């Protein structure tokens, strides 16, 4: 699963989208930089965002750290270059929570700070328990 997460986040526009689509659960729910942190629902919408225009062209990520938070959730961090909605390009450290279901990426969220990511994970755990 670590390899799948790395491959998904570090993809390049020249990578075959069919390879990325195979990593994504049919009912996936993702909030990604490539979509300006707006939610994407379902494999088709996610794959379409990965190939869409300027955002896809500028997006690059390099995963530097991976940590398992539980049996299904990876906590990743690394450098990412991405397009801003205002037209600019940014390069910064990003944190991701990747949750797997049936061996595929199911719920993925990008965060601008580590603290935001950890608080979100705590919410996921509370939701699962309660």
Length of the chain: 130
Q: Which H or E run includes 129? A: helix 114-129
Q: Max alpha carbon distance in the chain (Å)?
A: 43
- pTM value? 0.91
Q: Are 71 and 56 in contact (CB under 8 A)?
A: no
Q: What is the CATH number of the domain that holds 63?
A: 3.10.450.50
User: What's the domain range around 58?
Assistant: 2-129
- Tens-of-pLDDT digits for all 130 residues of the chain? 999 999 999 987 666 778 889 999 999 999 999 999 999 999 999 999 988 778 888 889 999 999 999 999 999 999 999 998 888 899 999 999 999 999 999 999 999 999 999 999 998 876 765 5
Q: Tell me how far apart the alpha carbons of residues 2 and 75 are, in angstroms, rounded to a whole number.
A: 10
Q: Domain count of the chain?
A: 1
């Amino acid at each position: 699963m670590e390899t799948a997460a790395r491959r998904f986040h570090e993809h390049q526009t020249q990578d075959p989208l069919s390879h990325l689509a195979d990593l994504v659960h049919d009912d996936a729910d993702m909030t990604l930089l490539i979509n300006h942190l707006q939610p994407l629902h379902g494999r088709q919408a996610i794959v379409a965002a990965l190939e869409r225009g300027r955002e896809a062209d500028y997006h690059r990520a390099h995963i530097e750290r991976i940590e398992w938070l539980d049996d299904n959730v990876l906590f990743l961090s690394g450098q990412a270059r991405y397009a801003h909605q205002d037209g600019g390009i940014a390069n910064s450290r990003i944190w991701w929570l990747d949750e797997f279901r049936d061996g595929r990426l199911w719920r993925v969220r990008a965060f601008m700070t580590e603290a935001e990511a950890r608080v979100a994970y705590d919410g996921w755990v509370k939701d699962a328990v309660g």
